[in-house]
Amino acid sequence: MKIVADLHTHTIASVHAYSTHMEMIKEAESLGLYAFAITDHGQEMHGVPHPYYFMNLHAIPRVVNGVRVIKGMEANILQRNGTLDADQNVQNTLEFITASLHMPTYHDEVSITACTEAYLSVAENKNVNMISHSGSPYFKYDYETVVKKFAQKGKLIEINNSSIKHKPDFAKNCIEIAKLCKKYECRVAVDTDAHFITQLGRAQEALCMLEEIDFPEELVVNASVENLQAYMKEHNIPLI
């Protein structure tokens, strides 16, 4: 298995990432990626761009150097009711939104019940496509309940390569989540969470984990151009 797109990446606009948009595009081209999504952090994270940055991403052509550049955001989930740090105007402007829980930006009770409610609420947001790096032991949730809901809603659950590669306490949870996605036929995206060009598109640890549990390739939206284009058409994301 391989990935033809990386749907969770960061540029220098996030301050704690280190590559420009054009550097990421050129790296995606050199790797032969069909697409990648720019998903810089939302407003509650430290050192992030102004909302105008997200609303003006249309300035970047959809296709640059043969790579489909998907305009997105990694929005922060602020509360258990699923509130995000992006207003409706910003959300409506973007092509792809992944939502995440981060310690500096979540302002509510931290418990399995609260985190489960947060993800279930996010599942109801029509603008959210995916949740990212949800294997965090700090933000543990009822995996089965959430995976079933995301499968029903056609939402994606990310298999985050960085979590598996660098965080053993995340990795075991990622395996459990992936097995439930297989059980309930919930689609996933295998992403790098790249903060520098040398990470872009390189998701071998996550792919190996999925192969070890015999995860169906048809459930990985970025495992083939056909899978990704079908998902994009389903969610009205232009192909070009």
> What percent of the chain lies above the pLDDT cut of 70?
100
- Express each pLDDT in 197-213 by its tens digit: 999 999 999 999 999 99
Region 146-163 average pLDDT: 98
Q: Is residue 175 scored above 90 in pLDDT?
A: yes
Task: Report yes or no: 8 and 132 within 8 Å, Cβ to Cβ.
Answer: yes
- Express each pLDDT in 58-109 by its tens digit: 999 999 999 999 999 999 999 999 999 999 999 999 999 999 999 999 999 9
Region 173-182 average pLDDT: 98
Q: Is residue 192 scored above 90 in pLDDT?
A: yes
- Express each pLDDT in 14-51 by its tens digit: 999 999 999 999 999 999 999 999 999 999 999 999 99
Binning pLDDT at 50, 70 and 90, where does residue 130 land? very high
How many other CB atoms sit within 10 Å of the CB of residue 235? Answer: 14
pLDDT of residue 240: 86
State the pTM of this model.
0.97
Average per-residue pLDDT for the chain: 97
pLDDT of residue 161: 98
